[in-house]
Amino acid sequence: MYKILIADDHPLFREAIHNVITDGFPGSEVMETEDLESALALTQQHDDLDLILLDLNMPGMHGLNGLINLRNEAPTIPVVIVSAEQDKQIVLQAITYGAVGFITKSSPRLQMTQAIEQILNGNVYLPSDIIRSQKPATRRHNSENRSFPPELLQALTRKQLLVLERMTKGESNKQIAYTLEIAETTVKAHVSAILRKLNVHNRVQAILSAGDIDFAAYLRR
């Protein structure tokens, strides 16, 4: 099935996430390590890993520097941050530095399983509660974190707004297609149009900048 590495220095959490993987993805091979040095060594020995679940605060990590080192050493292996950290800026920086997802340790078991499944299917997973948590007054004013001006949002069609709204909830293209009762290829086309109209380079930028949008106001027009 899948080959997954859990890199975390807390034995109880490693056991918990191990159980999530074995129950949700039967037949998967799960490896464990408790520091960055051994994680780097295992990625060299197993370049066929499907996923690395990486704790931000284990020995050797030094915050996001450990993620950067891991991405440099094993650029083809997807890395997901699994952390107790819930600061939006940390989430943004982790994605900027190459993580394909960010899962909080407080996530319910089912949500964690769905997040891992979404990532294994090639999508980015972001915790919607964190993305939508910061108030505009407290946000840092930088280009990655600024809300879209109204004129850009008004350029989106109603269906594109609905797709963008589902994207901010962390849904994959498959989930959006099911919810909106349209084809997955149609969702992909809408996502491409959304990125172009909003002048962003990828899905993550769109989600992070759209976190505080009042979609109901735009959909009422």
Query: DSSP letter string over 108-155?
Result: -HHHHHHHHHHHHTT--B--HHHHTTS-GGGS--STTSPPPPHHHHHT
131 Cβ contact partners less than 8 Å away, ≥ 6 residues apart: 88, 91, 168, 170, 207, 208, 211
Secondary-structure class of domain 3-131 per CATH: alpha beta
In angstroms, the CA 5 to CA 29 distance is: 9
Pick the CATH number of 139-216 from 3.10.20.30, 3.40.50.2300, 2.60.40.1890, 3.40.50.720: 3.40.50.2300
Looking at the chain, which residues constitute the CATH 3.40.50.2300 domain(s)? 3-131, 139-216
Element (H, E) at 190: helix 184-198
Secondary structure of residue 5 in the 3-state scheme = strand
User: pTM for the full model?
Assistant: 0.67
Instruction: Identify the burial level of 46 via C-beta atoms within 10 angstroms of its C-beta, where 0-12 means exposed, 13-18 middle and 19 or more buried.
Output: middle
pLDDT under 70: residue ranges of the chain: 129-146, 211, 221
Predicted local distance difference test score (pLDDT) of residue 75: 86
Predicted local distance difference test score (pLDDT) of residue 24: 96
Predicted local distance difference test score (pLDDT) of residue 210: 81
79 within 8 A of 49, measured Cβ to Cβ: no
In angstroms, the CA 46 to CA 96 distance is: 25
Predicted local distance difference test score (pLDDT) of residue 142: 41
Secondary structure of residue 206 in the 3-state scheme = helix
In angstroms, the CA 103 to CA 93 distance is: 14
